[in-house]
């Protein structure tokens, strides 16, 4: 499971760098990278840079599953370092 944006390699969080699901294949990038992608392409049809599937602007949403996994991994790392 990737816990970082495949575009900028920044680590996801639930704030400014939330993972945003951008295509039907559920590829996610951070919110700033998605904003940049949508801003730089003035056409109505934008393709996912990972797979080429169309990005449907109205369907873009936070990837809640990835955020949950991120929180679980963070909690696990915290517990492991306490041992």
Residue 59 vs residues 5, 50, 65: alpha-carbon distances, Å: 19, 17, 16
0.85 surpassed by pTM:
no
Going across the sheet that includes 28-30, the strands are 28-30, 19-21, 61-62
- Distance between CA atoms of 73 and 67, rounded to whole angstroms? 10
Residue 70 vs residues 18, 19, 47, 74: alpha-carbon distances, Å: 11, 10, 26, 6
Please write the tens of the pLDDT for every residue from 2-56: 588 999 999 888 889 999 999 999 999 999 999 998 886 666 788 999 999 999 8
61 DSSP β-pair partners: 21
């Amino acid at each position: 499971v990737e816990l970082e944006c495949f575009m900028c390699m920044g680590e996801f969080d639930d704030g400014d760098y939330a993972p945003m699901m951008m295509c039907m294949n559920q590829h996610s990038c951070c919110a700033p990278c998605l904003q940049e992608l949508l801003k730089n392409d003035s056409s109505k049809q934008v393709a996912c840079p990972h797979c080429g599937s169309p990005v449907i602007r109205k369907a873009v949403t936070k990837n809640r599953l990835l955020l949950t996994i991120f929180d679980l991994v963070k909690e696990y790392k915290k517990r492991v370092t306490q041992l």
